[in-house]
Amino acid sequence: MPLIGAHMSIAGGYYKAVEAAAEVGCDCVQLFTKNNNQWRAKPISDTDVSLFRDALKRLEIQAPLSHASYLINLAAPDRALWLKSIDAMVVELERAERLGIAHVVVHPGAYTTSSEARGIRKIAWAIDRIHRRLPRCQAQILLENTAGQGTTLGWCFEQLARVIDLCREPERVGVCIDTCHAFAAGYDWRTPSGFRSTVEALESVLGWERIAALHMNDSLKPLGSRVDRHAHIGHGEIGVDGFRRIMRHRRLRRIPMYLETPKSTDPETGQPWDVVNLETLRNLARSK
């Protein structure tokens, strides 16, 4: 059975995210290590680290994953913002390392007033600077594919591969694939032919060894819309068949999966949506 979890709040302490994950039946958990809409970060104490690691062990939650701040733009043409983003990403990796988290997901960035080619180079240069500042850091950057809204980069797998290829230490960079973002960018999970083409692109362009995490989100918007709007599993445009294909695929099912669906209660069952979505994915993994 695949490892399936969800993004959880760290309100009250990092260990609270682990406890919340266990409460709804997660195998793994994603969290922010700081306020995702602020540059500043409160120091992580020894007690924070101890409580977090103890909770993971006690509750048997595996593969904790960190998500970097949404403010970071490693493709920014504005030098001040670019340097600030590099500083922020260094902090994100240091915090993950301190907590014992192996991967930090980050959106590649937007080129805004420059160009796609220039933006891709800026991301690679930023990653090189980050790695030079953290030569012994074990926490790994995971570039997340995007929906392609506006000038955001990483919506096609080739852009992600190009960034990694331009890095001086490409082995230190991985990928997180978001199902909603991929669908909105034009990768169709729903049909046999669309799914086959998507999986072939993942393998040939990125390679399975680079893909360390999956964000499991249905899409409110149609295929190729370039709009990032998450929906509950089976309640969006990807639908049940698309997720059944993902959950049954021999390579995809080996990658830890994290829900990023809205936090609310299903009016039909009265259960938290995380519980419903986790159960849906597990049932699909068992189906034929």
User: pLDDT (tens digit, 9 = 90+) per residue, 150-174?
Assistant: 999 999 999 999 999 999 999 999 9
Question: What is the spatial distance between Cα 286 and Cα 212, in angstroms, rounded to a whole number?
Answer: 22
Q: Decide: residue 37, CB within 10 A, 0-12 exposed, 13-18 middle, 19+ buried.
A: exposed
Sole residue written with tokens 């169709």: 188
- pLDDT of 71 higher than 90: yes
- Mean pLDDT across the chain, nearest whole number? 97
pLDDT in tens, 24-36: 999 999 999 999 9
Question: What is the spatial distance between Cα 221 and Cα 233, in angstroms, rounded to a whole number?
Answer: 13
pLDDT in tens, 175-215: 999 999 999 999 999 999 999 999 999 999 999 999 999 99
- CATH number, domain containing residue 110: 3.20.20.150
- pLDDT of 225 higher than 80: yes
- Retrieve residue 173's tokens: 């960079």
| Three-state SS at 66 | strand
Sole residue written with tokens 């331009």: 166
Domain count, the chain: 1
Sole residue written with tokens 């995380």: 274
pLDDT in tens, 110-150: 999 999 999 999 999 999 999 999 999 999 999 999 999 99
Domain residues for 223?
4-286
Strand 230-231 relative to strand 218-219, pairing: antiparallel
pLDDT band at 287 (very low <50, low <70, confident <90, very high): confident
What sections of the chain are H helices per DSSP? 14-24, 46-59, 79-99, 116-133, 157-166, 179-184, 192-201, 239-248, 273-286
The predicted pLDDT at position 142 comes to 98
CB atoms within 10 A of CB 191: 13
Cut 0.85: pTM above it: yes
- Retrieve residue 110's tokens: 């937007």
- pLDDT of 1 higher than 90: no
Identity of residue 152 = T
| Three-state SS at 31 | strand
CA distances from 49 to 8, 13, 66, 90, 100 (A): 17, 10, 14, 18, 8
- pLDDT of 288 higher than 80: no
